[in-house]
């Protein structure tokens, strides 16, 4: 009985890690994003959890998967939440000054 419980526990851990990996793989890469004025810039999500952007003077941060979506915490204190919305992939940007939502598309 104990072996069966251990097997199911081990299976659950392996399955959740594999599904997390496949979810994160879909987000890894370079993305074309729009700011609140519809100006284009790039966001790069790397496999190791590092996020970079060429917005302004450039940004650096870290990203993580939350419920199948992406949360980027930039070193500047700003955050981007990337999710599948009604209009496709969308980005909710939050800073102390403002919040806005814009579209995104993967470039590679």
User: Model pTM?
Assistant: 0.78
CB 103 within 8 A of CB 92: no
7: left (phi over 0), alpha (psi -120 to 50) or beta: alpha
CB 89 within 8 A of CB 103: yes
pLDDT of residue 6: 52
pLDDT of residue 3: 57
Q: What are the CA-CA distances from residue 66 to residues 11, 63, 69, 82 (Å)? A: 22, 10, 5, 10
The total of other beta-carbon atoms located within 10 Å of residue 54's CB is 12
pLDDT of residue 10: 47
Question: What parts of the chain have a pLDDT lower than 70?
Answer: 1-23
**pLDDT tens for residues 11-25?**
454 455 444 456 688
Supply the DSSP symbol for 98.
Answer: -
pLDDT of residue 1: 52
pLDDT of residue 87: 83
């Amino acid at each position: 009985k104990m072996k069966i419980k251990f097997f199911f526990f081990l299976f659950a851990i392996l399955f959740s890690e594999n599904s997390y990996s496949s979810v994160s793989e879909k987000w890894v890469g370079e993305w074309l994003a729009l700011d609140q004025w519809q100006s284009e810039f790039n966001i790069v999500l790397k496999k190791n959890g590092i996020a970079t952007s060429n917005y302004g003077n450039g940004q650096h941060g870290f990203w993580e998967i939350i419920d199948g979506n992406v949360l980027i915490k930039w070193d500047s204190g700003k955050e981007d939440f990337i999710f599948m919305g009604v209009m496709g992939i969308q980005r909710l940007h939050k800073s102390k000054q403002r919040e806005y939502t814009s579209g995104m598309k993967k470039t590679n």
